[in-house]
Amino acid sequence: MLSLDLFLIMHRRHLDVFRVGDEEAATLGVSVPRTRLVIVVAATLGTAAVVSVSGLIGFVGLVVPHVIRLIAGAGHRRLLPLSMMGGAAFMILADVPGRMLTRPAETPIGIVTAFVGAPFFLYLLRTRRVGA
């Protein structure tokens, strides 16, 4: 999984250029269809590998980057490394109640992350409007 992280960090400038739009990115010399395909394929393969190993802990990869973006801004130079560290910290913090709530058994970590992720996404849906 580290290789996907390094791949995305290496392409952080392209990700930042995509924020201005496809036409502007093409004007700046980025091959938009090819770069988009490469990044989407890499992200898809990385996600498939993680889910096959760890199970469905989907809210981590969805919530943490949004929270980091709200705190640190949208530049991928800071966003990607902070999201990696934030995701790891979030998993450690989510694991603690998962181990302590139903002692001696363990609550699956996906349940704990869903309790954080679902309200956060409801908040995002209510506050972020497309075109507003």
pLDDT in tens, 109-123: 888 887 887 788 788
Q: Which of 55, 64, 108 is nearest to 85 (CA)?
A: 64
pLDDT confidence of residue 129:
62
Using the predicted structure, report yes or no on whether residue 132 has a pLDDT greater than 60: no
pLDDT band at 4 (very low <50, low <70, confident <90, very high): confident
More confident residue, 59 or 2: 59
In degrees and rounded to multiples of 5, residue 131 shows phi and psi of 80, 0
More confident residue, 125 or 31: 31
What confidence tens digit (pLDDT) does each residue in 13-55 have? Answer: 888 888 888 888 888 888 888 988 888 888 788 777 777 776 6
